[in-house]
């Protein structure tokens, strides 16, 4: 049986100033997927870098929207319409302060929880029926404001564990694609991946 084509979008901010910041962990996971599954980014259309290939036996488009985080919705929407991919076949990877670093959570539907990239997607699609892979970045330390926290870089101790984190995120994506979102939630949502 043929599977639906899936669109997997990692959220972040474009440009060198934002590389490897907490807010760009969605970009980092997408880059890891692209490298691991040999899916090069070959096109820039609708303000997005896109790559086309396969993860296991599922045909996918990997997407990095190049508008800033709070304008993530329109590029993903335009790409999905152009490619004929419906909202339920979209997976969005993004940072989440309400989850500790070292944990990931998979979510179906729901609100934006204050995340401007997710809000832009919900507003643009006029719906929330897409899967989210929420990458924990934790809350700011005392005295650090939210903007400085999300636009800051991971400390060296956390950077040492990021390959392990990317492996877990990759395994979560494969589980969603091959076994379904519910199975992914059961497998990953209660685990502490990195201590």
- Residue ranges of the annotated binding site for tRNA are 18, 68, 70
pTM of the model: 0.94
Domain spans in the chain, listed from the N-terminal domain onward:
6-188
How would residue 43 be classed by pLDDT, with cut points 50, 70 and 90? confident
Over residues 92-98, the mean pLDDT reads 96
CATH 3.40.50.1470 fits 6-188, yes or no: yes
Percent of the chain at pLDDT exceeding 90: 84
Residue with tokens 């304008």: 71
User: Longest Cα pair distance anywhere in the chain, in angstroms?
Assistant: 54
Catalytic residues: 23
Helix (H, G, I), strand (E, B) or coil at 43: strand
- Residue ranges of the annotated binding site are 18, 68, 70
Q: What is the pLDDT of residues 124-162, one digit of tens each?
A: 999 999 999 999 999 988 888 999 999 999 989 898 999
């Amino acid at each position: 049986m043929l599977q639906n084509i899936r669109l997997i979008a990692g959220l972040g901010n474009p440009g060198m100033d934002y590389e490897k910041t907490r807010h760009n962990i969605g970009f980092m996971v997408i880059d890891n997927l692209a490298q691991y599954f040999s899916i090069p980014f070959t096109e820039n259309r609708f303000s997005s870098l896109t790559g086309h290939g396969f993860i296991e036996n599922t045909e996918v488009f990997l997407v990095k929207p190049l508008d800033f985080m709070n304008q993530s919705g329109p590029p993903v929407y335009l790409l999905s319409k152009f490619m004929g991919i419906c909202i339920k076949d979209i997976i969005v990877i993004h940072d989440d302060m309400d989850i500790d670093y070292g944990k990931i959570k998979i979510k179906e539907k729901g609100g934006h929880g204050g995340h401007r990239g997710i809000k832009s997607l919900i507003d643009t699609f006029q719906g929330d029926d897409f899967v989210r892979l929420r990458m924990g970045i934790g809350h700011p330390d005392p005295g650090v404001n939210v903007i400085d926290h999300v636009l800051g870089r991971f400390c060296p101790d956390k950077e040492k564990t990021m390959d392990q984190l990317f492996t877990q995120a990759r395994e979560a994506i494969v589980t969603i694609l091959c076994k379904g979102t519910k199975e992914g939630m059961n497998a990953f949502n209660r685990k502490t991946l990195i201590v």
